[in-house]
Amino acid sequence: MAETSMEVTGLITLQFAWGGLIGAVPADGLIHLVRSTRRGTPGPTLCDIDRFGPDAPGWSVGGGVTGLGITLTPCPGCAGTAREAYPGLPVGGSVGAREMAECLGVPRGCR
């Protein structure tokens, strides 16, 4: 069967943060997941946070805030949905992908 443009092909990490490029602070301390398709990363996080909602913090798909005192912790809600709805899909992203892939027992890196 041919792949459609909105078919989920992998999962990508996402981190919410307050602030700008310099001095950003993680909003909730969690690494979330979003769906990856041939047309981008549509919709909310897997734990159903509307990243496009009013008054939402900034977010970075695949990236995020790292450094001293910052722990990259997988979101339990995103991990649970990934296990149920998207078992075995690879996890990509430069920040938090290793931690999330280990949590899920899946390969790191999106197709």
Kindly list the domain boundaries of the chain, sorted by start residue. Answer: 10-104
Q: What is the pTM of this model?
A: 0.88
The average pLDDT across 19-48 equals 91
Say if residue 79's pLDDT is above 50: yes
**Average pLDDT value for the chain:** 89
> Torsion angle, CA of 100/52/20/12, rounded to 10 degrees?
20
Q: CA of 28: how far to CAs of 5, 40, 86, in Å? A: 31, 24, 24
The average pLDDT across 17-45 equals 90
3-state secondary structure of 80: helix
Say if residue 111's pLDDT is above 50: no
C-alpha–C-alpha distance, residues 27 and 19, integer Å: 9
